[in-house]
Chain A
Amino acid sequence: MKTARQSGLVACHFCHTLSKLPEGVDDINDTYLQCPCCQSSIHSRIPSSLSRTWALLIAAVILYIPANTLPIMTVTLWGDGQPDTIMSGVIHLMDGGMWPLALLIFVASIFIPILKLIILIGLLLSVHFKSHWKPKDRTVLYRVTEFVGRWSMVDVFVIGILVMLVQFGNTANVTPDIGALSFASVVILTMFAAHTFDPRLIWDAINHEQIHN
């Protein structure tokens, strides 16, 4: 089994033209390749995938703290309102007996983002240390991460819709707080992080070993 990269070839993402990698060029970090046919940017691996993913991931981790500690929205009912964080919202729903909704919010807003962060950090570390541990499982994990990431935006959308719809002055009012912005940033950043991570890097280490062996 030989990859395109191992064969010294690279495919264009737009015109799908196969072109030769120039000798002695490590495209991953230092060079910028162009398709000889359509002049669009080509690369055999996502350029600076690891550092990009790391950057986005670190930003996400930093913003994850205010996203969870600061209130995401204030629901004012009959002039009496108080700001809620994600967790306090979940607890309120649980107190109100709305278990399924509480579970949904919990999974989408707390469980998934944190899972994503952990998986991505794990993948990055494994690539960094050129781990050989279950590359297939790790690829599955990556796919799940990429797929499920967008669903964390549910919470942000709920806030958006509520803020838009519930504007009745003192009777009932929903205002977004700084936590919502942080949370949305976390979700977006992790989505980009998942996107910039190149799963082929998982296999590269193994293939190198195989080649060397």
Chain B
Amino acid sequence: MTELKTSYPSAQVNPKSRFSLIWIIPITAAIIGGWLAFKYYSERGTFITIIFDNAAGIEKNKTPIRYKDVQVGKVKKLSLTSDLKKVRVTAEIFPDMAENLGSNTRFWVVSPRITFQGVSGIETLLSGVHIGIDPGTKSAPLEIYHGLSNPPLITTGEKGTRISLKTDSLGSLDIGSPIYYHKVNVGEVTSYKLNPQDGSINIFIYVHEPYDAKIKTSTRFWNASGVELNLDSAGVSVRMESLTSLLIGGIAFETAEAEYGKELNGETTFKLYDSYKLANDDTQRNNKLFYLMYFKDSLHGLSEDSLVEYGGVKVGKVESILLAKNRSNDQMETIVKVSFRIDRFSKHADVLDAVETLKNLVSRGLQAQLTVDSLVTGSKFISLVTPKNPPAYSKGQQNQLALSPSEGKQTPIFPTATAQASLLSFDATEITQELNKAISSVTTLINSDDIKKTLAGLANTSESISKITTQLENKGFSGELMDTLSNAKTTTKDISLLIKETRKTMASITKSTSILQKDASLSMKTFNNVSNKLQRDTGKTLASIDKVSLTLDKGLKATLSEDSALQYRLQQLINELSEAAKSFSVLADTIQRKPNSIILGK
């Protein structure tokens, strides 16, 4: 053994450092482990409990809580409440969101939703539902939150104005119905509430920035649900905000630029009008002047909301139509209560200014008159007109027409006039009567002895003139006299010709008139034809008459004395004829423009 031992070479001995580097490994592991543990605990969020009506697809350890599509938490546990009515969801909220939890933090389940306004949450079809969170304002967090059944319409981050609208019926409005401003969707209905006391409904809406700045104290809101159809003097008008509002209702608003509105201060309540028309027509009571009007005409065709116009401009409307007993003669009479818009009579919508303006107008003879608006519907409106011969008011009457706003006193009376027998209430007999008169005067004129005499005289004159002429010719008179004489000769011939023609025309007028009388009320077409013919004839007649008068003037000046009866009668005839012709052409014009006025006018 020792032999063996000695025969082996000896191993070389080197010193070795005492510290082994192997301990770096567990130290590193410890550092890594410690860091992981720290990371885990620092990333561990706050645990909260949310109570939902049902779990609707929420899964334990899976369903995320998302804010703006960023995961901010996770469902950790699902259980039922002890009474089995609700679901208790225990969720972990990550630290950065946990800091922002507050007492008004809201949670809701985001699931696919298809509404008329659009489709939302479609991404959850594949990924499964998630829980949405609206952190709200920062405040002390709660431990138990109650989840919403629907996603909130307005989240905390959005800016805008909350407005309350008062109405009598909700109509087709619902939560989520859009709000329109100039047909732009600027907000939505957030909630509504029925007041048990008076049955009115408060609708709460939210208008986003920057559109909420458009809402002033003078803003008017109206229910823009469905289609608004108006039939009035302007014809048929249809108004619709959008297809969405047709389906799910909507509210629109407008702020009139001209009106003075103040900025809103805090949550304000507005009235919700039923339609655009109502919203547009309505003015505040203190923007109106009320008057009573007593009309002697039939009020058929006049209704509440009928217009009051001045020079074709809308200045007011009929508020109500009443029947009342006249104290003085115990008869029933119609009273029309109208309202005038102050801003139409005064630039700055000042009451006293408006009253002063109206007073001035009335003292100058302004009167209210019923006017037919549309022949189709037979509706009427009240127009304010100043007749050619304004009624002269005595001092006492003037005082009665003191058009001041009556505070506690009786409503002042506005002067009225009977309706004009206008073309619209056209009566054919009136015209025929006039025509007959004119024709008879023409006939008498033509048949009068004066004319006959004149004609005979004229013939004589012409004869003698021709005699003189020939004599003069024979005697070789100068050309000038000759011209004059020959002129006189042709003139006389012309006159006789024209008179003959006039006679013919008159005959044709008489014929036409009889046709007109027969057919006027029967056939529009015939009337049209007749009137055309009349127009033509009258034009012709007029031209002829003008010619006649001119030539006659010329001839008669040369031959007859100026103040003869013939000249006077002729002048009268011409006047009458031209008047008749004028009224005919007006009639013809009217008929051409509105053929139906024949049927519906009266």
Chain A positions within 8 Å of B, measured between CB atoms, are 7-10, 17-22, 25, 30-37, 39, 42, 47-48, 51-52, 55-56, 58-60, 62-63, 65-66, 69-70, 78-80, 82, 178, 182, 185, 189, 196
Contact = CB atoms under 8 A, between A and B. Distances in A.
Interface in B521-560: none
A25 B29 contact: no
Given A55-B22, A59-B26, A34 B14 contact: yes
A82 B26 contact: no
B8 A18 contact: yes
B121 interface: no
Nearest to A185: B29
A175 B11 CA distance: 53
22 contacts: A7-B5, A19-B11, A20-B5, A25-B13, A30-B15, A30-B16, A31-B13, A31-B14, A32-B16, A33-B14, A36-B9, A36-B11, A42-B11, A47-B16, A52-B20, A55-B20, A55-B26, A62-B26, A66-B36, A78-B127, A185-B29, A189-B29
A59 B29 contact: yes
B257 to A, nearest CB: 51
Contacts of A19: 8-11
Given A59-B29, A189-B25, A31 B128 contact: no
User: On chain B, which size bracket covers the interface?
Assistant: 20 to 34
Contacts of B119: none
B128 A80 contact: yes
B25 A55 contact: yes
B29 A60 contact: yes
A8 B5 contact: yes
B11 A78 contact: no
B127 A80 contact: yes
B32 interface: yes
A42 B128 CA distance: 65
Contacts of B23: 51, 55
A58 to B, nearest CB: 4
A196 B20 CA distance: 13
Contacts of A178: 36
Interface in B460-499: none
Instruction: State the 4 A-B residue pairs at the shortest beta-carbon distance, nearest first.
Output: A59-B29, A59-B26, A34-B12, A36-B9
B322 interface: no
A59 B29 CA distance: 5
B10 A30 contact: no
A59 B25 contact: yes
Contacts of B128: 80
B262 interface: no
A23 B30 CA distance: 40
A65 B40 CA distance: 12
Query: Which one of B9, B25, B33 has the greatest number of beta carbons of chain A within 10 Å?
Result: B25
Contacts of A78: 126-127
Nearest to A88: B61
A70 B61 contact: no
Contacts of A34: 11-12, 14
A22 B37 CA distance: 50
Given A31-B16, A56-B22, A21 B11 contact: yes
Contacts of B14: 31-34
A182 B36 contact: yes
A144 B493 CA distance: 155
B18 interface: yes
A20 B8 contact: yes
Given A7-B1, A22-B13, A34-B11, 20 more contacts: A19-B9, A20-B11, A30-B16, A31-B13, A31-B16, A33-B14, A37-B9, A52-B20, A55-B20, A56-B22, A59-B29, A62-B26, A63-B33, A78-B127, A79-B127, A80-B126, A82-B62, A178-B36, A182-B32, A185-B29
A79 B9 contact: no
B564 interface: no
Contacts of A21: 11
Contacts of B10: 19-20, 22, 36
A36 to B, nearest CB: 4
A189 B26 CA distance: 10
Contact of A33 (B1, B5, B11, B18): B11
A56 B33 contact: no
Interface in B432-462: none
B18 A56 contact: no
Contacts of A33: 11-14
Query: Which one of A37, A66, A79 has the greatest number of beta carbons of chain B within 10 Å?
Result: A66
A190 to B, nearest CB: 12
Nearest to B18: A30
Contact of A36 (B5, B12, B16, B26): B12
Nearest to B24: A55
A90 to B, nearest CB: 16
